[in-house]
A = this chain, B = another copy of it.
Amino acid sequence: MLGWLRGYRRAALAGDVSAGLVVAMMMIPQGMAYALVAGLPPVAGIYASILPPVVYALFGSSMTQSVGPMAIVSLMTAAAIAPLAAAGSALYAVLAAQLALVAGAVLILCGLLRLGFLANFFSRPVMSGFTVGSAIVIAMGQVHPLLGADFPHWHGPSAAMGLASLLFLVLARRWGAALLRACGMRASMADTGSKLAPMLLVIVSIVLLALFDLRAHGIATTGSVPAGLPQLNLATSSAHWGTLLKPGLLIGFIIFLISMSAAQTLALKRNEKLVSNQELLGLGAANAASMLSGGFPVTGSISRSAVNFAAGANTPLASILTAGLLALALIAPTGWLALLPLPVLAATIIVAVLGMLELDTLRTAWRYDRVDALAWLVTGVGVLLLGVEAGVVVGVMLSMAALIWRASRPHIAVLGRIAGSEHFRNIERYSAETQPGMLVLRIDANLFFGNVEAVTYRVEEELAAHPTARALVLVMSAVSSVDTTALFGLMELNQSLKRRGIGLHLAEVKGPVMDRLRDSQLLDLLNGKVFLSTAMACDHLQNNKGDV
């Protein structure tokens, strides 16, 4: 904690200041926009961008993570709170902050219990499908504010402003950096500069609104943004703790996943080490802080963190500076923000989530592994049809089902001896000789509850195919662990083989596995011997045919 501050080098300051400034300029429209996605007044998005990143800087593990509102987490917040309170009501805001506290408590608890490995409950294709599905849901939700009316209708002035903004942002995204470079800017600065297009658009649109009084033409705006820092918020609804537990768990899980994948991408670039349990604590504390300052659930954002990184951030000081600048913006007069047109904010949201529509993972999975591609599609469609919360559950279940399914089909090879050598190889891939009366099987998987039945089944099949075998040798060279269920399975196999007068021998058992098996009864009851190598097993059994 704060290790970065004690070792702070002056050389890091310039980069941190520049990144702090750039991200603050990015955060104003983004925070307000994601507050709208969450169903909250825009200022809540600024509140959620001040205290949480500062607290994350104290407890988190990433140097360049930018913690604050994020599209998918805002969508999940809206999905959780909308059924419980009327949009715009005081209760809605209380529940959104309370949800951040619940999610934060979940994250801190997981961090203290060292449950960081839980991030592995989502496979990458599932996460990608979830992200794309959520992006589509978010974009569709912005069609109404973009057009000022429900599609396929539109309110002329709103639609004109919204679509023009959309066009500008798409062009800026595609050509902005090139244009800035053509104007003589350095490549890295041009890339960063182009990320400020949304802030430029916000300023221009506010100026236009102020000059031409476009509100008179029916263009909706964010309305007055209260000036001043957020008040300390301790309000909770005691009736809703139970109801918020499930969404809090799901949002906590997604906050962790999104933040870890953002932080990892950056850590990889600098060979930094991330500590997932530390990250859980940092995110949990940030969400608790978000609740205290009247915000809503926050996380690290991949796109914003990438800008932070590219703009030169070296330490969390950049995020602290960003927070300071946002606080200053709230202390300064905020009247101008009231004129921000909603179609412009909708356009920034749509363009932001367009960046989440990546199909590379699906394409790679499709070529490489259809099961993973299917998991992508089912999760994505699940989010679209069943909603974002059900999408998380579907994703976890699919990841687990894929895991169990894969695990339930372990690779098992019948081995034969490479003539004249001590080597044993898969007889399907090498011309290797088997010995009559002996069946040698190599199990290429850790033995656990998910595959022990499949292994037993396969052993029986091979025994049926080799009816003369009086000795079965299991080559355990690829088995690094045997769980309790598998231990029972092996004991039952041993019993069954004993009844049939077939010896069960083990070869090449790894040290750690052997250490564990000594704590069980299997070795005492084993209807055969344990051999150091397959060759030793086969030589011995060849020379002692009566020996089972």
Nearest CB on B from A368, distance (A): 5
Contact of A77 with B by CB under 8 A = no
Which residues on B sit within 8 Å (CB–CB) of A122? 449
A403 to B119, CA, bound (A): 13
Once A120-B407, A368-B520, A400-B121 are accepted as A-B contacts, the answer to whether A444 and B484 lie under 8 Å apart by CB is: no
Inter-subunit contact A450/B403 (CB<8 Å): yes
Inter-subunit contact A411/B512 (CB<8 Å): yes
Contact residues on A (Cβ < 8 Å of other chain), bracket: 35 or more
9 A-B pairs (CB sep. < 8 Å): A120-B453, A123-B449, A364-B487, A364-B488, A365-B484, A368-B520, A406-B483, A445-B480, A477-B477
Which residues on B sit within 8 Å (CB–CB) of A477? 477-478
Contact with B along A456-485 (1 / 0, CB 8 A): 010010000000000000000110110111
Interface of A is mostly: helix
A405 to B120, CA, bound (A): 9
Inter-subunit contact B448/A403 (CB<8 Å): yes
How many copies of this chain does the complex contain?
Answer: 2
Which residues on B sit within 8 Å (CB–CB) of A500? 271
Nearest CB on B from A157, distance (A): 45
Contact of A150 with B by CB under 8 A = no
**Residues A504-518 near B (CB distance < 8 A):** 510-512, 516
Once A453-B120, A460-B271, A460-B273 are accepted as A-B contacts, the answer to whether A125 and B484 lie under 8 Å apart by CB is: yes
A367 to B521, CA, bound (A): 10
Contact of A410 with B by CB under 8 A = yes
Nearest CB on B from A277, distance (A): 12
Inter-subunit contact A120/B449 (CB<8 Å): yes
A119 to B123, CA, bound (A): 21
**Residues A102-132 near B (CB distance < 8 A):** 117-125
A516 to B368, CA, bound (A): 7
Inter-subunit contact A484/B450 (CB<8 Å): no
Contact with B along A304-336 (1 / 0, CB 8 A): 000000000000000000000000000000000
